[in-house]
Amino acid sequence: MPTTDQLQTIAAYAALGISLWAGYKAYRVGQEQVRLDAHMLRIETSRERDRVAQLASATLRASLVSGSDSSVLQIRNEGESGAWSIEVTADGSDLHDHPCFTISPPLPTELDSGAQVDARMFVFDGMPQQSKIELTWTDHRGSGQRWSSTVSLII
């Protein structure tokens, strides 16, 4: 039969073992928490980067609008940022050279957010019925932003 001192020693060793095991488990839980925190930080950083990119992007669009005495090609910036180095082509050539559009003064090469510019359309016999309009521009995302569509020129 073990003595009281031996039982106390065994109990102390058991308590030490349980304490070491609990410390190891706490360490492992802490490591897992650090891993999860790092993962959440990556997700939040990605979301913030996407939000900032959305705020820094221009969205150029064009449409043909019929007025009371003529039609115009409206080019507008629907994005949250300005656009610059804007180029407008119709059927692969510069809009200034297209026979259906009269542009004076020249179109601006920059459009702020919410801004628009109009290119008056010139109507003549034998004009094409549609035209492929392409817009290219630079914004805070970089160069090479692009939009294109075929618009009907007969209204």
Query: pTM of whole model > 0.75?
Result: no
Confidence band (pLDDT; 50, 70, 90) for 155?
A: low
pLDDT per residue as tens digits for the range 71-113:
889 999 999 889 999 999 999 989 888 888 878 788 999 999 9
pLDDT per residue as tens digits for the range 27-66:
999 999 999 999 999 999 988 887 776 677 899 999 988 7
**Taking the C-alpha atoms of 23, 24, 27 and 29 in order, what is their torsion angle to the nearest 10 degrees?**
-110
CATH for 60-152, options being 3.90.1300.10, 1.10.3720.10, 3.40.50.300, 2.60.40.1230:
2.60.40.1230
Question: Rg (Cα) of the chain, in Å, rounded?
Answer: 34
CB 152 within 8 A of CB 71: no
- Cα 6 to Cα 2, 18, 33: the distances in Å are 6, 18, 40
Domain ranges of the chain: 1-55, 60-152
* DSSP symbols for the chain: ---HHHHHHHHHHHHHHHHHHHHHHHHHHHHHHHHHHHHHHHHHHHHHHHHHHHHT---EEEEEEE-SS-EEEEEEE-SSS-BEEEEEEETTEEGGG-TTEE-SSPPPS-B-TT-EEEEEE---TT--SEEEEEEEEEETTEEEEEEEEEEE---
